Amino acid sequence: MESVKEVNEEEGSLRGQAQVWQLMFGFADSMALKSAVELRLADIIHSHGGPITLSQIASGIDSSSPDIPYLARLMRMLVRKGIFTANDHPSSDGGDDHQTEYGLTHISKWLLHDSELSLAPMVVMENNPWQLAPWHYLANCVKQGGIAFEKAHGCNMWDFASRNPEFNKIFNDGLASATKIVMTAFVPQYKDGFDTIQSLVDVGGGTGGAIAEIVKIYPHIKGINFDLPHVVATAPDYDGVSHVGGNMFESIPNGDAVFMKREAEESEPPSAVNLVGGGREADTHEMTGEINLMVSSERSGSGQVGRGGFDEEEEQQICSSTGSTSRSDANLIRI
Ligand SMILES: C[S@@+](CC[C@H](N)C(=O)[O-])C[C@H]1O[C@@H](n2cnc3c(N)ncnc32)[C@H](O)[C@@H]1O
């Protein structure tokens, strides 16, 4: 007879094997999510104002001959992941048959394209083949160091975007959607800093959504959105915001304060305020997220970025994970 220890060992081993299978197909979750966004499944259900059947969903898909069994399998997976609900109802002809109706959940509401706050563009951005390719270089990065995006594409992300308008749009739209969510939560709460400045430069501001949110709530601020030329070339007009193209490692426009928002890469929040060169003191705030506010050292300065200043950690926060390596100098307050 097997001992308890042996049974536990066997049970644990089988569970371990099941987990390997789950991990092996972990990508299927992302791909199902991406498909839901591409097919606009949440929008189709939303446009009916309530749960709808599979054939009603199919008729809303942009295709003259959608594959219904395929759609059924996709919906089954999305329901299992909690992205949609599925409830059986007696069919309308009064027979024994039941039909399933699919509805939205708190998850799928974030996938609506026309909603003011949506993660749909971010889902498309993070799951497009250009963004997924670098993940195949993870092991290679461990062995040899380097930057996965550059290994996959032969250049850094910004150069890649400058040469590839489709990627540029997917990337900028994705960032803009996530930024809108963050800024909507953040700006109304952060009163003191914005009350006292007249002009604000968002360095690496993408297509300008972040500074537009600030200016909307603090209209006395003159907003300047600064990013690489190929990014600002596609930026929409926003009231109170002007777009300036350039390279932040060469010069940045003048302003009372400089704002930088980026995706946080560090696992540990940085601990202190770093003021360089301007001789000003500032309150130390806990870092609450991914927003940095940099106060320019010379309000009347040329806007030229000096040399040195950031240590390597600082620089990494400014450069994205994609590997810009130039150094820059400014006064940085993390909030
Ligand atoms: C991670 S994105 C953040 C965009 C925006 N701040 C946001 O949070 O949505 C980094 C931005 O920095 C810009 N960028 C990268 N290198 C730059 C440079 N040398 N000068 C100006 N902008 C740069 C990119 O084009 C991109 O828009």
Q: Integer distance in angstroms from the first to the last C-alpha of the chain?
A: 63
Q: What is the mean pLDDT of the chain?
A: 82
What global pTM score does this model have?
0.80
Q: Is residue 161 part of a domain?
A: no
User: Rounded to whole angstroms, how far apart are CA atoms 158 and 135?
Assistant: 18
Same-domain status, 68 and 189: no
In a domain, 162, yes or no: no
Task: Kindly report, residue by residue over 61-94, the tens digit of the pLDDT.
Answer: 999 999 999 999 999 999 999 999 999 987 766 6
Expressed in angstroms and rounded, the spacing between residue 328 Cα and the centre of ligand 1 is: 14
Domain identity same for 75 and 196? no
Residues 198 and 313 in one domain: yes
Q: Which of 82, 32, 78, 34 is nearest to 54 (CA)?
A: 78
The CATH code of the domain that includes 269 is 3.40.50
Domain containing residue 38: CATH number:
1.10.10.10
Find the residues whose C-beta lies inside 6 A of ligand 1: 158, 175, 179, 204-206, 210, 227-228, 231, 247-249, 261-263, 320, 324
| CA 187 – ligand 1 centroid, Å | 20
Of the candidates 91, 115, 139, which is a domain's last residue? 115
Tokens of 281: 């003191």
Whether residue 271 has pLDDT greater than 90: no
Counting ligand 1 atoms within 8 A of each CB, the residue from 158, 292, 329 with the most, and so the one to mutate, is 158
Cα separation, 130 vs 215, whole angstroms = 33
Cα(206) to centroid(ligand 1), Å: 5
Count of domains for the chain? 2
Asked if residue 127 is part of any domain, the answer here is no
Cα-to-centroid distance, 205 and ligand 1 (Å):
6
The pLDDT tens digits of the residues spanning 186-212 come to 888 887 778 889 999 999 999 999 999
Q: Is residue 296 part of a domain?
A: yes
Asked if pLDDT for residue 333 goes beyond 70, the answer is no
Which atom of ligand 1 is found nearest the CA of 263? 1
> Measured from the CA of 249, which atom of ligand 1 is nearest?
19
Q: Which of 96, 115, 134 is the last residue of a domain?
A: 115
Domain termination residue (choose one: 115, 146, 163): 115
Q: Which atom of ligand 1 is nearest to the CA of 320?
A: 1
Note down the domain range covering 70.
4-115
